[in-house]
Structure 1
Amino acid sequence: MSADVNEMFAAERAGQLEAARDWERELQNRLAAGTVKRLPDGRYRILSGWDAGEILSDRGAPQHGLDLSRGRPALYSAVPAWHHVGNVIPGGTADIDKVLELGGIDYHIDTVPATYLWNGAYRYAEGQFHTVRTDTGASLGVVGKSYTVVQNRQAFEFLQELVNDSNAIWESAGALRGGKKVFVAMRLPRHVRVDAEGINDEIVPFVVVINSHDGRCPYEVVLTPWRPVCGNTERLAVRDAYSRWTVRHTRSALDRIQEARRTLGLSIRYYDKWVDEETVLARTNLAINEFDELIDALWPPGDTPTARTRRTYEARRERLHNLFTGEAERTGRTAYAGERAVTEYLDHFAPIRPSAASGLKDNKPAARGLRLLEGVDDELKSRAHRRLMHLRQS
């Protein structure tokens, strides 16, 4: 079964649940030994050892990070994913209105003047407005007078043409951060294969569209090659082909979205170019010292690293070497294997530190998934790709 950019959460959850079970067993042993005490609010106080007095929170099942404004996770999916929550419709649906409804993103956004309390009276903040959900009344952000709301249906309806014309599938849709950010992922019907006559590595083509209502992020359409065998997003720039359209929330936003709509027909060109370049890498041998040079180019150790920096550097290198070795066993010791090791490390193993502003500070699995969705590491993946392509050409 094909997966989408959210499928990784199923594996994340399995690992998290196993860790939670291990923690629960350890907790019960410590309760029986009298080294921790349960508090009325469900937390635990440590009674002995170097951390005596510290408070432990109840580490149950991990959070999924989806919007819960309506009392249920805002998610539609054609396959069980993202912690197996939300509305799963096996095989998907072809109706955009159903997708918006099941994904919990069929709400509208209004802008209202921003006010503040001063000496017991409310004043208007000139030129500032709140973006407000009309279903819940929640404020999602503060924006200026030139900000243009892109309603969720306006953001995604142009993809309906792909459904009608080419049997593309609405794979998933949902909302995050209380509805500040919404997304859809569409799986294109034509799968592609890297080095079809050699390693024959399957790639599933997706179009991901992300809209925001907090005034901080643009509207984006992103082409996302997905590698099911490792659950990796292989988004990276290739020559002479568009892979991303970014539209700011200004008065011309809707016109720019129409431009993205027209150029999206070139998406197949991107995937063709992507496969061509990846096939070149799959036929390029990569020595271990060349892989080390790639690591150092992406994560320079610095001239005078501290002991902590050195430990981080060595741990990262060891992890990347292990990933490269595992990938090389399947696809050969090639530049393609080196690039896959980098993408797998960035998608699943690179340390992340969610900020309080993200709303996911205590939810690393969801933060990692959002990082994947937003393509935070796409530029680093592209740098790795360019360097390895240069290796081939040199």
Structure 2
Amino acid sequence: MAHLIEQMAYVGATPWHGLGNQLSPNQPLEVWQQEAGMNWQIQESPVRFMADTVGHLGTIHSFPEQKVLYRSDSKEALSVVSQRYQVVQPCEVLEFYRDLTERSGYELETAGVLKGGRKLWALARTGQSTAIKGNDVVNGYLLLATSCDGTLATTATPTTVRVVCNNTLTISLSGATRAIKVPHSTHFDSQAVKKQLGIAVSQWDEFMYRMRALAERKVQWTEAMSFFMEVLCDTSAHDPIPNVLPNKRAMEKVQSLYEGKGRGSEMESARGTAWGLLNAVTEYVDHERRARSSEYRMDSAWFGQGAVIKQKALDAALQLAA
């Protein structure tokens, strides 16, 4: 089975998904482009098809409403999209960070290609960092990702990473993500996105204030079970716990992570708290959830069903602490 990741690169410790080529710190974007497998362009061609006719090979026709996107290096087809589809090139994903890394203290930590080029991303540390209850450190990041097959708008997402376990979480308050999304029907203006992100990134303090509140909120066993049922099994937090658990394996795994098996679960901030509940779910999604490979799990945790589960866990934890 082909891997989802064509290539990727990182600096520092091995990233949470355990994949990629290690770089030394402070490499120029041109090196990142080469080592992350992003040194190619998305090119386009009209859609053409062959109509068979009796006794002949057929006549080639065009379909002007759509176009084929393909890689400049391998000529491999990536997708068929409408003529209105605005392409974001691999180099643009990295270029987005140039002024942020050169003047604003950001540092690229990982970048790469998923699904053979259909998804592209880069992740940079913002320099923001908060310790919860003394030594449970959470760092701030900015994720920029896009696709060329219509599955993902170009999206800039303020993200956190809990150091002790490498759990990733999108910054979200009041049920609304702080991600900036640019649909492919419009031009991607990186400077306009960064202006909007200035507001989102400034909400770091408020978000971490809420996370500290989760670490102060002690939970009972019945509350913990109701939390996991709500997040993993779509039941109401007030419903009685059934005798036969739906999604039994996930429930058992998350419960074990919460009760001491998870990385950082024995820290004062997490033991028996709403913060511990949240991190049990994020660790399950990022590191333990069944997937065909680490690449599939990563894709889900950032862009798919795994991201949805983590958002549900965050919303439910904030409700507990309200």
Whether TM exceeds 0.5 here: the answer is yes
2:170 aligned with 1:238 = no
Answer whether contact 2:286 2:301 (CA < 8 A) is retained.
Answer: yes
**Post-superposition shift, 1:118?**
1.8
2:254 aligned with 1:325 = no
Q: Secondary structure at the match of 1:191?
A: strand
Cross-structure match for 1:387: 316
Cross-structure match for 2:210: 277
Mapping for residues 144-155 of structure 1, pairs under 5 Å? 144-155=82-93
2:233 aligned with 1:300 = yes
Cross-structure match for 1:289: 222
**Could you tell me which of 210, 214, 217 is aligned with 2:149?**
214
Mapping for residues 5-84 of structure 1, pairs under 5 Å? 65-67=4-6, 74-79=7-12, 81=14
**Post-superposition shift, 1:262?**
1.0
Distance 2:312 2:213 in 1: 16
Answer whether contact 2:290 2:297 (CA < 8 A) is retained.
Answer: no
Answer whether contact 2:232 2:251 (CA < 8 A) is retained.
Answer: no
Counterpart of 1:384, as a letter, is: A
2:51 aligned with 1:118 = yes
Cross-structure match for 2:277: 338
Answer whether contact 1:143 1:214 (CA < 8 A) is retained.
Answer: yes
Q: Secondary structure at the match of 1:189?
A: strand
Distance 2:106 2:68 in 1: 36
**Post-superposition shift, 1:301?**
7.0
**Could you tell me which of 104, 110, 128 is aligned with 1:172?**
110
Q: Secondary structure at the match of 2:219?
A: coil
**Could you tell me which of 179, 187, 205 is aligned with 2:125?**
187
User: Structure 1, residues 112-135: CA drift from partner, whole Å, max 9, x if none?
Assistant: 101122212322123110012222
**Post-superposition shift, 1:314?**
3.2
Quickly say closer, same or farther: Cα 1:131–1:380, change in 2 above 3 A: same
What is the count of residue pairs matched by the alignment?
305
2:139 aligned with 1:204 = yes
Cross-structure match for 1:254: 188
Cross-structure match for 2:293: 364
Q: Secondary structure at the match of 1:272?
A: helix
Quickly say closer, same or farther: Cα 1:84–1:313, change in 2 above 3 A: closer
Q: Secondary structure at the match of 1:381?
A: helix
Answer whether contact 2:162 2:168 (CA < 8 A) is retained.
Answer: yes
Counterpart of 1:217, as a letter, is: L
Cross-structure match for 1:141: 79
**Post-superposition shift, 1:375?**
5.5
Cross-structure match for 1:359: none
**Post-superposition shift, 1:269?**
2.1
Cross-structure match for 1:103: 36
Task: Tell which structure's C-alpha radius of gyration is larger.
Answer: 1
**Could you tell me which of 157, 161, 172 is aligned with 2:99?**
161
Counterpart of 1:315, as a letter, is: R
User: Structure 1, residues 121-168: CA drift from partner, whole Å, max 9, x if none?
Assistant: 322123110012222222110001111112222333232111122332
Quickly say closer, same or farther: Cα 1:122–1:235, change in 2 above 3 A: same
Quickly say closer, same or farther: Cα 1:166–1:174, change in 2 above 3 A: same
Distance 2:188 2:296 in 1: 29
Answer whether contact 2:138 2:163 (CA < 8 A) is retained.
Answer: yes
Matched residues, percent identical?
23
Answer whether contact 2:124 2:143 (CA < 8 A) is retained.
Answer: yes
Distance 2:2 2:13 in 1: 16
Distance 2:10 2:234 in 1: 42
Quickly say closer, same or farther: Cα 1:189–1:277, change in 2 above 3 A: same
Q: Secondary structure at the match of 2:96?
A: helix
**Post-superposition shift, 1:85?**
6.7
- The structure carrying a bigger helix percent of its residues is 1
Q: Report the RMSD for the aligned CA atoms in angstroms.
A: 2.7
User: Structure 1, residues 176-233: CA drift from partner, whole Å, max 9, x if none?
Assistant: 2221211111112232222xxx243111211111121223321111122011211211
Counterpart of 1:174, as a letter, is: G
Answer whether contact 1:75 1:85 (CA < 8 A) is retained.
Answer: yes
Quickly say closer, same or farther: Cα 1:146–1:317, change in 2 above 3 A: same
Ranges in structure 2 where 5+ consecutive residues have no aligned partner? 53-57, 237-242
Mean Cα deviation higher: 198-207 or 105-114: 198-207
Distance 1:215 1:318 in 2: 36
